[in-house]
Amino acid sequence: MAYVGIKLGSITRFCCWVLTLLFVAADAHDGVAATDGDPKTAVGKLCINPVALGADPSGVSDSTEAIQEAVRDAQWHRGSAAPGVVCLPAGEYKLTRTIVVDQGDVKIEGAGYFETTFRPVGDYGDVFYVAKATPAPFIFGVNFENFRIYTTSNPTQGAGLHLNQANSSVISHVQVDGEFGAYDIESCYHIFFDSANSVGDNSNSGSYGYRFHRASNNALHPSEDFVVNANVRGHSAQSISYAQIINDSDGIQFSNFHFGWSSGAAVLLEPEYEGDSIYGVFFGNGVFDNSRYDVYATARSGHAGPMSLWTFTGVLFETSTLDAFYADAPQLSNVTAVGDQFVFNGRSALNIRAGKRFRFGASIFSANNRFGKGASHVELSGGVSDVNLDGASYSTSTSKHAVPYNISVTGDADKISAHSQTFEGAANSDLRLETSGKHIYITTLSTDKRLPVNVRDKNRNP
């Protein structure tokens, strides 16, 4: 009998729960309780359907107000029984102004990656803007899933998704094409991107796929954000300015990615405000390609904020018209590239003009210099120190003498280590030492040329 009592109590509670859901569904302003049968509905969820509020899935009429109303109805607030999900059926939805999300715990979900499409019309700025009405951190749990934002109007401002001081949001299986920016991440914590892509052209200067930054010098630093399975590039060669911009970071991780096809850099790392820092950036298992620079790290004049702890592991740098990795920021330190780096088909694989503590050991540098002849595989100059190239190998792809030197060390570069090198194919010599630095350590495993030519550093230790 005790067992029966427990089961009856559970059944009673279950019935009360079902009745509660029915009342919520009835009160959810034309809410839709999705069931089964139609694969384009959110099965088993309570949803607010913007089509029931007047949204037009044919793309003819303006759906902005209906979708905005659905978002307002779905947003959670104290005492709310809102279902929290805006479910958009398959179709194309015309938008003419920004959809604002200013309360947390809401999800905007389409019927599929390319089943549900938002088509912004005009140059009005952000398509979705997520932020509290008052600038107090944070807005929690605003999620986006299974839709595409697409325009061919070449806008000059705004982003597909703009998150400002958001926390604990998930953006999954979303594609933003043709916007000035795809994903604008401003002072956000714990944002998770999975298959959030952008493969579309925008020829306006400064256009980008992802941007991590702050709104002002007093705003919060973006922190602990994650991007996985991302394909961000122009539709045609170099048809966006940047695949990625990082102006400020307190920890960002990118895994399984493809960034490139940009006229500026695949990744631009440049502080914007005086208090900006770019700290704790990780790139793993990905490709940078078909850009003017693959990775461009610089700082504005007078900026002294830290730029440190960058890691590249298992990354392919491919086909930059200038340098694969360029850095001229004096405060840049602690860059590590380990685990099968392949760098080829550019002007210089590494062009480091300032900074300290770089480790590019065991990397493979291969080039045919189809675009920018005249630069070496590795160029170290200016105030560079503590560079480790141990175990690297250097070769050319098609032209026997595609580079004048494999390694060029000039200026006051110091503390350069290149043990166990495999050299091949330089036009002049494998190593150029024209530096006042006193701690240059070079040994080789194999070479097809003599070492070195043009040596002024009498303290080198080959």
Q: Say if 297 falls within a structural domain.
A: yes
Confidence check: pLDDT of 5 > 80:
no
| pLDDT tens track for 101-131 | 999 999 999 999 899 999 999 999 999 999 9
pLDDT confidence tier of residue 461, bands split at 50, 70 and 90: very low
Nearest to 174 by CA among 223, 245, 90, 116: 116
CA distance 67 to 108: 10
Nearest to 18 by CA among 46, 38, 39: 46
Q: Say if 3 falls within a structural domain.
A: no
pLDDT at 400: 62
Residue with the larger pLDDT of the pair 444 and 351: 351
Q: Say if 17 falls within a structural domain.
A: no
pLDDT at 40: 32
pLDDT confidence tier of residue 422, bands split at 50, 70 and 90: confident
What residues contact residue 41 under an 8 Å CB cut-off, 6+ apart? 32, 34, 35, 47, 87, 89, 111
pLDDT at 326: 94
CA distance 94 to 57: 8
Q: Say if 458 falls within a structural domain.
A: no
Confidence check: pLDDT of 25 > 60:
no
Confidence check: pLDDT of 44 > 60:
no
Q: Say if 217 falls within a structural domain.
A: yes
**For the chain, what is the domain count?**
1
Q: Say if 382 falls within a structural domain.
A: yes
Using DSSP's 3-state secondary structure scheme, residue 10 falls into helix
Give the mean pLDDT of 1-30.
Answer: 39
Q: Say if 42 falls within a structural domain.
A: no
CA distance 3 to 398: 79
To which residue do tokens 């427990």 refer? 6
pLDDT confidence tier of residue 318, bands split at 50, 70 and 90: confident
pLDDT at 348: 84
To which residue do tokens 């490709």 refer? 287
pLDDT at 260: 93
pLDDT confidence tier of residue 399, bands split at 50, 70 and 90: low
pLDDT confidence tier of residue 340, bands split at 50, 70 and 90: low
| pLDDT tens track for 161-216 | 999 999 999 999 999 999 999 999 999 999 999 999 999 899 999 999 999 999 99
Q: What percent of the chain has pLDDT over 90?
A: 59
The bridge status of strand 99-101 relative to strand 208-213 is unpaired
Enclosing H/E stretch for 280 = strand 278-289
CA distance 144 to 161: 9
CA distance 33 to 14: 18
pLDDT confidence tier of residue 134, bands split at 50, 70 and 90: confident
Give the mean pLDDT of 73-80.
Answer: 75
Q: Say if 314 falls within a structural domain.
A: yes
Q: Which two tokens mark 408?
A: 């060029």
pLDDT confidence tier of residue 425, bands split at 50, 70 and 90: confident
Which pTM was predicted?
Answer: 0.87
CA distance 428 to 35: 72
Nearest to 232 by CA among 313, 305, 177: 177
Q: Domain holding 117: CATH number?
A: 2.160.20.10
pLDDT at 371: 44
Range(s) of the domain holding residue 93: 83-446
pLDDT at 341: 66
Q: Please report the beta strands in 5-156, taking only residues with DSSP state E, as ranges in sequence order.
A: 31-33, 46-48, 58-62, 85-87, 91-95, 99-101, 106-109, 116-120, 128-130, 139-140, 142-150
